[in-house]
Structure 1
């Protein structure tokens, strides 16, 4: 039984196949459909040039790693979010996309820079001051075994969870890194999680929960 009727979601997926954009976004289609969203998928960034479609869309979920975006596409997406369309995604599908495009960066509020080789056991820490935010409310710190992202972020983002890069031969102190954040861009809400390289990352209950909540929070 849907409880948010007559909503529209657009799932934009493609780019580097190493992040399984189709298989992983498919994990979240039942959630959206159960909540009353009509879901459309697109494997073409030209959809960001369709101002009418974006204006009628409540939520864009993007999983598009690397790749190139045109100025018209980037500005079309940014304009739609400023006007109220929500935007959400995880891992490289949102913060390792379209590097160097400033309009896109101002939507996401962050960009991937590097990760240590392979997968690492690390803890995702819920920021105590943000523990009542609806995306992370009731969640405790949790462990993951996946890529740990080093990101550059806009200081204006609302960081909900962090990870720690321990001091090593390259760093003389621990570095606290944003892992989950939200922001507003004009009238639009944006949700970003850096966790989600592989499908079984979402088998961790906290990862699945905060991602689902993040998508719904971002929606118009």
Structure 2
């Protein structure tokens, strides 16, 4: 086992089953345990009602698509991150969650709006100016075949990688869209990747690497 022992990670998973929250989060449980985290899982948003538990957690990994979060749950989660708890996730599990909650949107810094039908081949481009970021080190442009997310984002996020929507009936010029980003929320760190609709997305080495690094970066 490597890393710092006795850190605590909480994996919150559920919501819409189309994003396969249990199967995909299970891919990362051994990784976290190997790096010294005591890992717990929760399949109910009621876990966000336990403010003390959240405050004692070093990293919350969320894969919860759609659904609704109560004001208390949202407030406790935001407060924990502001105080230093890390928050991380991918795809709809983090940016297609709790769409009606503006405080949650301010926490993540982005929200899913749409994607072209089905899975599409597209390229993810790390931002050259951020190549020294620990999440991106050594990662160049890479290709994926999955959903391509169109997102609304907070201008204060730190965009690490983008994807380009080509010209189509709705857009007469290409549109560059954030695909991976980080942000600070108080003293806490937030990591978001829009990639990860299906388990085999993480068979792409770059996707797996940046996701694993993002979890560690976000952690207290």
Alignment of 1:98-113 (within 5 A): 98-113=98-113
Q: Residue in 2 aligned with 1:126?
A: 126
Q: Residue in 1 aligned with 2:97?
A: 97
Instruction: Measure the CA separation in 1 of the matches of 2:5 and 2:169.
Output: 54
Q: Residue in 2 aligned with 1:153?
A: 153
Instruction: Measure the CA separation in 2 of the matches of 1:136 and 1:14.
Output: 28
Residue 66 of structure 2 corresponds to residue 66 of structure 1: yes
Q: Which runs of 5+ in 2 are unaligned?
A: none
Instruction: Measure the CA separation in 1 of the matches of 2:2 and 2:136.
Output: 23
Residue 55 of structure 2 corresponds to residue 27 of structure 1: no
Instruction: Measure the CA separation in 2 of the matches of 1:13 and 1:95.
Output: 14
Secondary structure at 1:168's aligned position in 2? coil
Instruction: Measure the CA separation in 1 of the matches of 2:23 and 2:69.
Output: 22
Secondary structure at 1:100's aligned position in 2? coil
Q: Residue in 2 aligned with 1:193?
A: 193
TM-score, L = length of structure 1: 0.99
Instruction: Measure the CA separation in 2 of the matches of 1:96 and 1:177.
Output: 16
Q: Residue in 1 aligned with 2:138?
A: 138
- Runs of 4+ aligned structure 1 residues displaced above 2 Å come to none
Q: Residue in 2 aligned with 1:49?
A: 49
Deviations along 1:64-83, one digit per CA (max 9) or x if unpaired, are: 00001100001110000000
Instruction: Measure the CA separation in 2 of the matches of 1:3 and 1:106.
Output: 31
Instruction: Measure the CA separation in 1 of the matches of 2:16 and 2:48.
Output: 19
Instruction: Measure the CA separation in 2 of the matches of 1:168 and 1:131.
Output: 30
Instruction: Measure the CA separation in 2 of the matches of 1:214 and 1:19.
Output: 19
Alignment of 1:172-187 (within 5 A): 172-187=172-187
Quote how far apart the aligned CAs of 1:100 are.
Answer: 2.0
Deviations along 1:130-176, one digit per CA (max 9) or x if unpaired, are: 01100011101000000000000000000000000011111011100
Instruction: Measure the CA separation in 2 of the matches of 1:121 and 1:158.
Output: 25
Residue 170 of structure 2 corresponds to residue 170 of structure 1: yes
TM-score, L = length of structure 2: 0.99
Instruction: Measure the CA separation in 2 of the matches of 1:100 and 1:109.
Output: 14
Instruction: Measure the CA separation in 1 of the matches of 2:70 and 2:185.
Output: 20
Instruction: Measure the CA separation in 2 of the matches of 1:169 and 1:49.
Output: 45
Q: Which runs of 5+ in 1 are unaligned?
A: none
Aligned length: 220
Instruction: Measure the CA separation in 1 of the matches of 2:12 and 2:55.
Output: 15
